[in-house]
Structure formats: structure tokens, C-alpha cells
Chains A and B, each alone.
Chain A
Amino acid sequence: MPVDENEILVRAHGLRKRYGDFEAVRGVDFEIRRGEAFGFLGANGAGKSTTMRMIGCVSEPSDGALDLFGLDPHTDGPAIRARLGVVPQDNTLDNMLTVFENLTVYAGYFGIKRRTAARRAAELLEFVQLTARSRDKVDDLSGGMQRRLAIARSLINEPDLALLDEPTTGLDPQARHLLWERLFQLKQRGVSIVLTTHYMDEAEQLCDRLVIMDEGRIIASGSPRELIDTHVTKEVVELRYGGLHTTDLADIARTLDGIGSQVEALPDRILVYTDDGDDTTAALEARDVSPTSVLARRATLEDVFLRLTGRALGEDDG
């Protein structure tokens, strides 16, 4: 099959998912192209995982149109799933099996012949650096290793599209970096990736294109750079006041009118959006607001999220 860079693998239009009275996904549109890494960024409860389950053909949309590889999930679920590699949020590894068996048995679910399965399993364990643990039971692995095993398992059928639901949530920084490195290599191999995350650094590092979700809706989309350019200023100055509380910070923020292009008070700091960090820092000093610390930095996706939702990414909204 010739690789067409613009081939669209997933097309969603007006996608909705209702659970009783609660609507988890409220009409989203997106397109995922071959070869790209596409991200769903949002806080917990934003509808990311539900959207992923619908793409994975294990959850039926309540409304809207969804199309994967030109097939309809409603009638061609097994055929679509045969071309997907899924890493669910909770791994769902088989803890009655060894590391190696987790891969070969899973290959069986795809109807892959035993010999092919064993060869691919050995290669994939090498890829995720678990060869030395291949005879161990899953429960004996650390969280990061289990995650890597889940990723290896998702690649056993050589998928056209890999779906990773919060691949690094709950991992320590070292395990996260190892995982990022593997995902980056996966991208270089030409595997199309869809991932959800609530870490903006993860989204910035891995995603070519992403959508920001909030309360079941897509509130912005584009490349990380485009999103930052469109929604926030180039730089942000952070003011921290040790010991002061939300209302105090709001009072101080009000006195900063006219500095930068916008001032925002958060529970723990004040953000001043500006196109020139140095200028703004100088202007702040002139105002004599005496913060404990001042930090001028590049704007990030987190600032985009904050501007769009009024909340920090770390805050849960149920």
C-alpha cells in the first residue's frame, strides 16, 4: 500500500457519548492523518478517554459520525480493531501470564500464527527493553515496565494506528522519559499515534497536532506552536508570593493594570502575559509590588489551556 501522507485514518463528525443524563462527549469533530502524532489534551473528565474508546471501537457513539480506515465501527468493529494497537489507561495486562506470553497470547487474538507471534514478541521486548524480564509475571514489573509491556503488546499486530490513553500518568520522571523516547522512535518508524494526556510538556514534545478538550468539547486545535501563537503572548511573567492567599493575589493583580497584555491571578501565583518579558519585569519592579520571586519564561500549552478554560491543567473538574 503506497503511503499517502495526507491519507485520513480517522474522521469524526459531531461525535457524542451520553451515559444516562451525563454527556461525556458533546459533539466533537477531528481528523487524524497517516503518519502524524495526534493528541487529546485536557483535564481529567474532559472526555478524552471516552473519545479514545470510541476510536478504539469498544464504545458505541450515542450520536454523530465516525469513520476509521474508511470503515464503519458499527458494522466493521473487528476489522477496524485488527488494524489498531491499543494501550488503555489501566494497561489490562493478563497477570496470569508471563511477560512473553502476554505478547504471544495477545497475538493469538489477532489470529497471528504462533511462529510469527514468537518472533515479533522477541523483537518488541527488545524494543521496550524488557527482554531480561520475559519469563517474569506481570505483577513483578514496575509501573513503568508494565506500561512499556502494554505498548509492546499494542504493536504485536503491526497496527496502522496506535492509541495511547495517558501513556505516562503515574510514572516517575525517569520512566516517563524512557517512554517518551520509545514513542518518539515509534513515530520515526512511521506509526501513526493518537494519545491523550493532561501533561502539556508531553503534548508539546510528542504531538504534531492536538486538540484541547474541556467538558466534552474541543475548544482549540492546531500544532503546539500554532496554539501558543494564536491564544497567548510569546512570554509569561510569573509572580509568586509566599504565604499569600487567593483573595490577596486577586487584589494585587488589580493593581497591575496596564502591564503586559493581560494579568491573571491563580490560587498560587499571578501570571502576566506579555510579548517582552524583560520590559514587563522592569515595569513590575517600578510598581513596587514586591513578590517573593519573579520568573519570565516562554509561553507553553499550559498557558493556552489556562487562557481558554480559566483553570490550570492539574485541577480536576470531576
Chain B
Amino acid sequence: MSVIAYGLFRTRLGPSRAMLSRNWVAMRRAWVLVASGGVESLLFLFAFGFGVGALVGDITLPGGRTISYTAYVAPAILANAAMMGTLLETSINVFAKFKWMKVYDGVLATPMRPWDIALGEVWWALIRGGVYVAMFVIAMGAFGLLESVWSVLAVPAAVFIGLAFSGIGLTLATVFRNWPDFDWMMAIVFAMFLFGGTFTPVESYPGFAQPLVYAMPLYHGIELVRGISLGELGPMMAVNVLYLCALALAGTWIAQRRLAKALYK
């Protein structure tokens, strides 16, 4: 059984590894650029957590527990870091490789399929996002913002966020026509960052706005990471994970379909 499973695993994932290794070779000279993305979220943590957090002090969760505002905001900023790392990689960088540098035109003349390209880009985005997340979690730990040993689970939780936004980013990369389209994306991302439950519990929004927030992918990411890092586990987390996985699958599938349509012409 294991031989067959291994063989299947190889045939499905082998080619996408080649795409991953292409990105590694292309970016290894620019690792400072890669690391700089992680520094950005640390700046957010300092500004909002320690700056604003010092003014707000402690807050009371809907469940009645009281925690410092910094501990409340930090997981959300972590979720945001996971989102930005993978979304920017898959949207802007894939768009550049697809429309600008025509990298995929060359790749498709080989045995590689659009599915292999899409999957390879997802792996790469996850690795890049993972670097940001790891940097951030280490910083959280250093400032005493991790409430229990289970908080380490925030890292794999952030991977689900990365998966979801890789899928979304890939689809956007194939839908967007030109750079100004990315301004729209950034506007929506910023709205999610502000209103997706980063700074205040969703329950404090007026009733009509709440369904909008529940639809935001980032909201589900924040809920997941926050629940884990504060040690508040609940059945809703399964819904968060499923929602994020559904986005990942749908996004990657749509993206490879659109790549095929655009490049196999």
C-alpha cells in the first residue's frame, strides 16, 4: 500500500516541487527582501500593541475573562502577517511571472501542467508566509504574549490562513489585468484588517455589519489564531478551518483553470 501511495504522492507533488525550487533559486539572492516582510508586522505589533495597548489597558472578553489589550491584538496581527505574506506573494509576484516576465509560458512547454504551477506557487507562498509567522511568534513569546504552551499551535493555524489567501491571491493574479487592480485588492485587505475583528470583538459592531465580518476570510483566521493563543478553544474553530480550506481549494482550482485557459491558447 505504501509503495502505491508513495508513487501517487510523487506523481502528484513531484512537478510542483520544481516550481518551488525555481522560486527558491530566483529569490535566494534577495532574502533580505523576503525577511523585510516579517519586520513590517513586528512594527504593527509595537505600534498597536504597545502604543495603543498602553492607553487601553485591559479588556474583558465576551466570556468574561480579562486580558491585556496587547495580548488581544497580537494574534490578530499574526493572522494579518500570515495573510499579507501569502497574498502578496501569490497575487503580485504570480501576476508578474504570468503577465510580465512570461515565466509560465516557458514552463508549460515542459511536462509541467497549470496545476503543478499553481500548487508550486502555493507551497512557496506558504514557506514565505511561514517565515513571517515564525518571526512573529518568536517575538510574541519574547514579550510574554503567549498565554500557554498550546500557543505554539498558532503557527500551524496560521498555515490555514496562508493556504486560504494563497488560493485567493492566485485567482486574483489571473483575474487582474494591470497594476491598478492591485490598489483595489489592497483597499479590501485594509478594510479586513481594520474591521475583521483585529482591534475590537465583532460583537461590538452594529447587527447589520456582523454578517459582513463573518464572510471575511481574515475574520476566520483571526478567530482561529486568537482562540489558540489565548487558550480559548471551541467548536467554532472547526468552522473557521473548513472555511479557510474551502477558500484554498476553490482559489487554487480556479487559478489553474484560468492559467490553462490563458496560456494553452
Measured between alpha carbons, how far is A92 from B101 in the docked complex, in Å?
8
Asked if A96 CB lies within 8 Å of chain B CBs, one says yes
A residues in contact with B110, CB < 8 Å: 81-82, 106, 109-110, 157
B109 is contacted by which of A19, A56, A95, A104 (Cβ under 8 Å)? A56
Measured between alpha carbons, how far is A127 from B52 in the docked complex, in Å?
64
Shortest CB-to-CB span from A90 to chain B, Å, is 7
Asked if A84 CB lies within 8 Å of chain B CBs, one says yes
Interface residue total, chain B, C-beta cutoff 8 A: 24
Shortest CB-to-CB span from A68 to chain B, Å, is 13
Asked if B187 CB lies within 8 Å of chain A CBs, one says no
Asked if A295 CB lies within 8 Å of chain B CBs, one says no
Asked if A94 CB lies within 8 Å of chain B CBs, one says yes
Asked if B21 CB lies within 8 Å of chain A CBs, one says yes
Asked if B65 CB lies within 8 Å of chain A CBs, one says no
Q: Check if B264 sits within 8 Å of A58, measured CB to CB.
A: yes
B residues in contact with A157, CB < 8 Å: 110
With A60-B264, A101-B25, A105-B25 as given contacts, are A94 and B106 in contact (CB-CB < 8 Å)? Answer: yes
Within 78-109 of B, Cβ neighbours of A (below 8 Å) are at: 101-103, 105-109
B residues in contact with A78, CB < 8 Å: 111-113
Q: Check if A59 sits within 8 Å of B15, measured CB to CB.
A: no
Shortest CB-to-CB span from A166 to chain B, Å, is 15
Q: Check if A86 sits within 8 Å of B109, measured CB to CB.
A: yes
Measured between alpha carbons, how far is A77 from B263 in the docked complex, in Å?
14
Nearest A residue (CB) for B112 = A109
B residues in contact with A310, CB < 8 Å: none
Show the binding face of B for A, using Cβ within 8 Å.
14-15, 17-19, 21-22, 25-26, 101-103, 105-113, 263-265
CB-CB nearest 10 A-B residue pairs: A92-B106, A109-B110, A78-B111, A108-B18, A86-B109, A96-B26, A92-B105, A82-B111, A105-B22, A109-B112
Q: List 20 A-B contacts (CB under 8 A).
A: A56-B109, A58-B108, A58-B264, A60-B264, A81-B109, A82-B111, A86-B109, A90-B105, A92-B109, A94-B101, A94-B106, A95-B101, A96-B101, A106-B110, A109-B18, A109-B107, A109-B112, A110-B111, A111-B14, A111-B111
Show the binding face of A for B, using Cβ within 8 Å.
19, 56, 58-60, 77-79, 81-82, 84, 86, 88, 90, 92-97, 101, 104-106, 108-111, 157
List 13 additional A-B contacts (Cβ < 8 Å) besides A60-B264, A78-B112, A84-B109: A19-B265, A58-B263, A59-B265, A88-B105, A97-B22, A97-B25, A104-B25, A106-B110, A108-B18, A109-B22, A109-B107, A110-B111, A111-B18
